Copies of this chain bind each other. A is one copy, B any other.
Amino acid sequence: MSIPSFIEGYGEVRRFAGAFAAPRDSLRAGARIRAQHPGETKVLPSIRAAILACGLRDGATVSFHHHLRNGDDVLRAVMQEIAALGLRDIRVAASSLFPVHAPLVEHIRSGVVTRIVSSYVTGPVAEAIAAGDLAQPAVLQTHGGRARAIEAGELPIDVAFVAAPAADLHGNLNGVDGPSACGPLGYPMVDARHADRVVAITDGLSAHPLTAIDIAQDCVDIVVPVDSIGDTSKIVSGTTRVTEDPVGLAIAATAARVIDASGLLVDGFSFQTGAGGISLAVAQDVAAIMRDKGVVGGFAAGGVHQGIVAMFRQGLFRTLFDVQCFDLAAVASYREDRGHVAMSASLYANPASKGALVNHLDCMVLGAAEVDLAFNVNVTAVGGGRIIGGSGGHADTAAGAKLALVTTRLSAGGSPKIVEAVECVTTPGETIDAVVTEAGVAVNPRRGDLRDRLAAAGLPLVDIARLRDLAARETGGAPARAGTGEGRIVAVVEYRDGTVIDVVRERRNR
């Protein structure tokens, strides 16, 4: 990687200097407040009316959240009105962007949108960024880094648009009532506390005060009722079934053995895992071990999905901390289960916080597109600049968890996944403890204690370089790596503390 000290359209670069190198002391920013008087209404008839009431101008920053994931229709609807009003040079700060957000591409090409800040981008918007269509480099943050940037005042938001499954006339919002219930509104909780103006867009307007509140009325300026905020059947946008593939199941079984052997799987155990097929299989295997041992965990966190809900309902965890539901089973649990509590993105993962929950994780099970010899993980860009997502909570949970475990096959689609050096560093190797593959477990040399425990438990340990070799052999030799080149920087990859850990360069120049 080659990171310049100044990036046009981004500014001065503070380079990544270690996972915990940031200063301890920081300031949380305030907010502009416009007081509401008795008898005034917050309800406006249209998104356009709300935009006008906010006085949105060229160059402004608008924010969105991704709780409706690939079913979200609010970003499209808002940006359509912004474009129709003739606004230009807008910065879109969206917690994540999915294929459903394809209409954003036309606004990028027309100059309505010139800047994007997000923690995860896939689909046509990712392609447009990679192709260099965006006027300024996209900024790819982590979920915790986004919360930090907003709270630190580094990412000031002019108007936060909140897709709200339920809203009342006072402006209280939740994600559990209404036809588009999506679970706790953990991401916009942060935006709503700091944005200059907060607009809730809802298809579940209640004439009476809500009986459960994710975002309270003192953080909301305007409420706009609409016919639909999206399609909740598309909240489930990734794999959410336990893998049936034998290799995946073997990796999962090994990962569960690693967790068992780590010494962490005792009363009070805390756990997080994604919703991918292997991760779900790990959860299933860990659940079996917990039941066998009679271990009751402290908490599970997430990104909550049916796998975690099942463990919680079996009494394997006392509390679920939930920033976002990955499926409708999780939504139902949030609505019904005491102990299934909402957390903001800041509470979840902000590294500048008095208490990020990730810091209390015993074990996090992570995926990877690539892992390298320094245990760096890439989930951001492959194939010479193709953007495939980004950190989300990857780098946050890796930094916080006592045992950050990457599960991955040696190769996929003919490409090796264990490589000499990742194309793009999403998560620094110093925060990854072990990599579990079908060919064995590579432990980070920083974790001699863990290596000893795993060896004693008879786990198949292997050097990371050996895995690299096996992956290369499996794929007929690593393909020639696309040179990092000196093409224009199309995306700046920020570590959770706001330093720059890598960049993505324009694809067509490679």
Contacts from A to B (Cβ < 8 Å)? 20, 22, 24-40, 42, 153, 170-171, 198, 207-213, 216-221, 268, 298-299, 318-319, 321, 338-339, 341, 343-344, 346-347, 350-360, 399-402
Known: A170-B360, A347-B217, A360-B170. A354 touches B35 (CB 8 A): yes
Question: Which B residues touch A34, using CB under 8 A?
Answer: 24-25, 354
Flag if B38 contacts A33 (CB, 8 Å): no
Query: How many identical subunits does the complex contain?
Result: 2
Flag if B354 contacts A36 (CB, 8 Å): yes
- How far in angstroms is the closest Cβ of chain B from A100? 30
Q: Please pick, from B32, B213, B352, the residue contacting A33 in the complex, using a CB distance under 8 A.
A: B352
Known: A209-B318, A338-B212. A171 touches B35 (CB 8 A): no
Known: A33-B352, A35-B26, A35-B354. A208 touches B268 (CB 8 A): yes
Q: Please pick, from B32, B38, B319, the residue contacting A359 in the complex, using a CB distance under 8 A.
A: B38
Question: Which B residues touch A31, using CB under 8 A?
Answer: 27-28
Chain B's closest residue to A352 (CB) is B35
- Give the CA-CA distance A26 to B399 in the complex, in Å: 37
Flag if B354 contacts A219 (CB, 8 Å): yes
Q: Which 10 A-B pairs have the closest CB atoms?
A: A217-B355, A211-B339, A38-B359, A209-B319, A30-B30, A28-B31, A218-B355, A218-B353, A209-B299, A28-B30
Question: Which B residues touch A353, using CB under 8 A?
Answer: 33, 35-36, 218
- How far in angstroms is the closest Cβ of chain B from A415? 33
Question: Which B residues touch A216, using CB under 8 A?
Answer: 343-344, 347, 355
- Give the CA-CA distance A29 to B193 in the complex, in Å: 11
Question: Which B residues touch A401, using CB under 8 A?
Answer: 38
Chain B's closest residue to A198 (CB) is B354
Flag if A351 contacts B399 (CB, 8 Å): no
- Give the CA-CA distance A151 to B448 in the complex, in Å: 48
- How far in angstroms is the closest Cβ of chain B from A25? 5
Known: A209-B318, A299-B209. A357 touches B217 (CB 8 A): yes
